[in-house]
Structure 1
Amino acid sequence: MNNYQEIINLESRAEMTFDDGLFDQHIGLWAENECKFESPFGSFDNAKEYIDWLKGFYETTQKLGGTRHLVLNPVVTIENDTAQFTGYLYIINKSNGAFMGTSVMKDKFKLINSEWKFVFRSVSPDQDLSKILS
C-alpha cells in the first residue's frame, strides 16, 4: 500500500471505529504523545480528554440511532514524514439513513516507525449541528 492509500485507510478507520464505539482501536490510530483535536463541540490537547469527549459524543449519537461517517473528496499532501488531509465528512443516521450533516476535516499525520499516525484533527461542521444533536 502506498502512502496515499495508507492515509485514506486511516481516515476511514477513524470514522468506522467511532461509528462502532471501538475507542481503544480509534485512539490507536493516533501518535502516542500527540493528540490535538479542534471542533465547535470541544477542543483537546491530549488523548485522555479527547477520548473521554469522544465517548460522550458517541453516546449522544447512539441515542439518535447511531451514525455512519463517510469520507469524501480527499486531498492528501505528503512531504517526507508528514502528511496533510483535507476532505468532507458526510454523516447519516445508521438506523434510518437520514442526513445528519456535513463537515470539513483537516488532519495531520506523522510517519512514526514506518506507520502513519494522526497528530491533529480539525472538524468544521457546515450546519448548526446543535439542533440535530439536541
Structure 2
Amino acid sequence: MNSEKNRERFRDLTLLSASERNYPNSPDAARLEAFENVYADRDYVIEFDCPEYTSLCPVTGQPDFGHIIVRYVPDKKCIESKSLKLYLYSFRNTNTFHEESVNTILDAVVKTCSPRRAEVIGRFRPRGGIAINVKATYGDKIDE
C-alpha cells in the first residue's frame, strides 16, 4: 500500500503513535481503537492473550488477578493491540466482579469493531480456594 493510503487507513489510531504514557484510570476513561480490515472478505480469528489482568474486588478492595483471552472474527475493523493493552490496564484500579469485567470487555470490543463473532474468556486466580472462569460471547460460536 502507498503511504497516503496508509495514513488514511490509520488516521484514527492515536494511541499507537503516542510516545507518552497516559494510563486511563477506569474502563470508562479508556478508549479502544480500531483500524480497517483489508481482509474483510474472509473469516479469520484474531486472538489476544493477556495473562496479566488485574482489577479490584468490589467488596474488599483487594487485588484480583486473571488471564483474559479476547477472540473474534473481524468484519470491517480490527482492534489495535496497544489500545487493548491500555484498556485492560484501566481495570487495575477498578472495583468489579469477574463476571462484570469480562462482559464489559466484550461490550467494548463489539462497540469498537462490530465483529462477526467474538468471545472474551476470563480465568481468574483462586480466592478462598475457588477459581472463577467466565466466558461471554457475541454471535455464533468461534471454532477452535
Q: Which band: TM-score by shorter chain?
A: under 0.3
Greater share of residues in helix: 1
Question: Which protein is bigger by CA-based radius of gyration?
Answer: 2
Using the size of structure 2 for normalisation, the TM-score is: 0.25
Using the size of structure 1 for normalisation, the TM-score is: 0.26
